[in-house]
Amino acid sequence: MNDLESGDGAPGEGREPAGGADVLDEAGIRTALAGSRLAREVHIFERVVSTNDQALALARSGAGEGNLVVADRQTGGRGRQGRPWHSAPGLGLWLSLVLRPALEARRSTLVSLAGALGIATTLRQGWGIRAGVKWPNDVVVDGRKICGLLSEGEFSGDSIRFLVLGIGLNALHGREDFPAELAGRATSVALESGRQVRRLELLADVVRAVEAKYFYLEARGFDGIRRELLLVSPLMGKVARVVTAAGELEGTVVDLDENGALVLRLGGGHLKSIVAGEVVRVT
Ligand code: BT5
């Protein structure tokens, strides 16, 4: 489609990643993702505030499913509740997908869970990394976060107008590339695989893996995905403390329900589904 877009950053800035060799170029991305239903249109930026902002703007102006936004650098990458997402220039995959899933709004969590499962699966099968999915939106390796997903969208009653699925996957980082506050809590594909990573190859793997699980979810429902998620969940069977808007809860993680909520068995044996929250401790 369009030529390399400079986004809201200075043209040319952030083009050359650390090390200089691993460039995500437009022609390469188009070739690597030829035929992908989630990357029919590719928007590549050297620098943006957030790829989710770009994708949200595209979706609001009518862009259909199949628009992919990729940036080399994000100046305001974000996580949930406005938390910052550390997006080292040239070292990660910072991307967003415009989706228009045929799902009820209350089930929209399933999309990020399916995406996370796709990423964990491709990291396990293609890159030899023992990745798991930590509810609700993290891909982790031995307790360290390698990838975070941020799903945002617009809803009308119980239907989804669109979703933007943002994916931040640490790719080329060495330990020294993470800020002090993430030391010991973050990792990357290069660190975990011990391989020389080409982001183009990783991007194609990730988008195709997310695509496979996303369309499986739409066509076949959540059950198969749920079973796979339970197999790679670092929380299953553990006692977790979860912070929710209504307060903190502690219980044994026993399942995911049909809407992607985390199911805890509380002290008295009562089952409780948690729709949104933060797991703060696992024992
Ligand atoms: C997330 O939020 O994990 C969602 C992150 C989504 C990032 C992508 S990048 C492309 C797209 N554009 C955006 O602007 N965002 C998306 P949450 O669960 O709230 O986790 C945020 C927390 O993860 C932070 O408070 C840190 O503790 C930690 N963190 C920040 N940067 C990290 C990194 N690069 N690697 C590992 N952990 C990180």
CA-CA distance, 145 to 137, in Å (whole number)? 10
Q: Is residue 247 part of a domain?
A: yes
User: Are 103 and 123 in a shared domain?
Assistant: yes
Q: Is residue 16 part of a domain?
A: no
Output the pTM of the full model: 0.94
Cβ of 80 below 6 Å from ligand 1: yes
User: Are 148 and 261 in a shared domain?
Assistant: no
Task: Return the ligand 1 atom nearest residue 83 CA.
Answer: 25
User: Are 250 and 134 in a shared domain?
Assistant: no
Cβ of 165 below 6 Å from ligand 1: no
For the four alpha carbons of 33, 34, 36 and 40, in that order, the dihedral sign comes to: positive
Q: 104 CA to middle of ligand 1, Å?
A: 26
The protein residue whose alpha carbon is closest to atom 3 in ligand 1 is 148
Cβ of 52 below 6 Å from ligand 1: yes
Q: Is residue 3 part of a domain?
A: no
Q: Is residue 11 part of a domain?
A: no
User: Are 218 and 239 in a shared domain?
Assistant: no
Q: The domain containing residue 179 runs over which residues?
A: 26-231
Q: 85 CA to middle of ligand 1, Å?
A: 4
Per-residue pLDDT of the chain (283 residues; tens, 9 = 90+): 333 444 444 333 333 444 456 889 889 999 999 999 999 999 999 999 999 999 999 999 999 999 999 999 999 999 999 999 999 999 999 999 999 999 999 999 999 999 999 999 999 999 999 999 999 999 999 999 999 999 999 999 999 999 999 999 999 999 999 999 999 999 999 999 999 999 999 999 999 999 999 999 999 999 999 999 999 999 999 999 999 999 999 999 999 999 999 999 999 999 999 999 999 998 9
Per-residue pLDDT, 21: 66
Give strand ranges (E) for the chain: 41-48, 67-74, 92-99, 131-134, 138-141, 144-156, 159-170, 239-244, 247-256, 262-265, 271-274, 278-282
Q: 259 CA to middle of ligand 1, Å?
A: 23
Q: Is residue 223 part of a domain?
A: yes
User: Are 39 and 138 in a shared domain?
Assistant: yes
Cβ of 51 below 6 Å from ligand 1: yes
Per-residue pLDDT, 262: 97
Counted residue by residue, the chain has a size of 283
User: Are 149 and 46 in a shared domain?
Assistant: yes
CA-nearest of 207, 176, 10, 239 to 95 is 207
The protein residue whose alpha carbon is closest to atom 25 in ligand 1 is 83
Which CATH number is 138's domain given?
A: 3.30.930.10
Q: Is residue 19 part of a domain?
A: no
User: Are 144 and 272 in a shared domain?
Assistant: no
Q: Is residue 132 part of a domain?
A: yes
Q: Is residue 18 part of a domain?
A: no
